[in-house]
Amino acid sequence: MKFSLAVLITLTLVTVTAVGQNLTPIVDLNSPVDAAANASASLSMDAPDRAVDGQGDRYYQMQVLQEEVQMLRGMVEELNYELQQLKQRQMDDYLDIDRRLSAQVSGSAVSGATSASGVPAAPAARSFGGEPVMPPSDGSADGMVNPADSSAMKADYDKASGLLLKQRDINGAALAFKQHIVDYPSSPYVPNAYYWLGEIYLLQDQAELSRQSFTAVVEGHPLHAKAMDARFKLGKIYHQLGEDSRAKELLEIAATSTGGVSRKARAYLDNNF
């Protein structure tokens, strides 16, 4: 009986020991050591997921930025196109007014082309883009104008303005206006031709050639209908070149005129001086 009891006790102890070895250890979450270990394990498991999420966020942000850049480029191109259209419409309006005014003054301008003695001073050599252009030597340079020449002058000027207004041939119009000045130095349309050359050069961002053309109007034909507008354009050009005193002088003179030129000159002075 004692032997059986001893065997039973021995078997019980062996079983308890084996079961104890297979039990999962109990972790005390309130223990600082166990809590830190548990948090570290959790972070290690979540790290790959967070890395993937971060890469996805950066890719999305790059896509958004690329779309915004493309949109801004489109807006800039659209604004540039609208600006060119606005410049062209403004030039069309000027040309329309110019043609009507020229038709009204052509007769009186031709009759007053000669001086009191009947022999005006010979026109000086003109310069386009730094290259001198001499008046023709076929006898028309003496400034004498007859009715037959008057119609030829008008036809030639209308052809040049038609290239600009109807055909939108900017380069062709510039050449035609320059040729009109050379072929008909006493033409009543010479100031207009210089003026439109100035506008064309502004459109082409050739500030120096534009300055020369507007100066020819202001200094050579100070009382012409285009002179005040030419002063306004010259004032803006000189301001952009940093010659503020000269710019202000021209703009103040333009501001004393009447109509739209005066308003534009005053507004420019108020905004920039």
Confidence (pLDDT) at 94: 63
Mean pLDDT estimate for the chain? 73
Mean pLDDT score, 137-145: 43
The type of residue at 148 is A
Do the Cβ atoms of 265 and 235 come closer than 8 Å?
A: yes
Residue 100 pLDDT grade (very low, low, confident, very high; cuts 50, 70, 90): low
pLDDT value of residue 117: 36
- Residue carrying structure tokens 């053309």: 213
What average pLDDT does the segment 132-144 reach? 42
CB 186 within 8 A of CB 123: yes
Highest mean pLDDT among 49-53, 144-148, 196-200, 257-261: 196-200
Query: Rounded to an integer, what distance in angstroms lies between the CA atom of residue 125 and that of residue 204?
Result: 25
Buried b (16+ CB within 10 A) or exposed e, 25-37: eeeeeeeeeeeee
State the pLDDT confidence band at 229, using cuts at 50, 70 and 90: very high
- The domain spans of the chain are 89-105+128-221, 226-273
> C-alpha angle 205/131/248, rounded to 5°?
45
User: pLDDT tens digit string along 30-74?
Assistant: 555 555 555 555 555 555 566 656 677 787 788 778 767 866 766
pTM of the prediction? Answer: 0.54
Tell me the mean pLDDT in the region 63-86: 68
Percent share of the chain, pLDDT over 90: 41
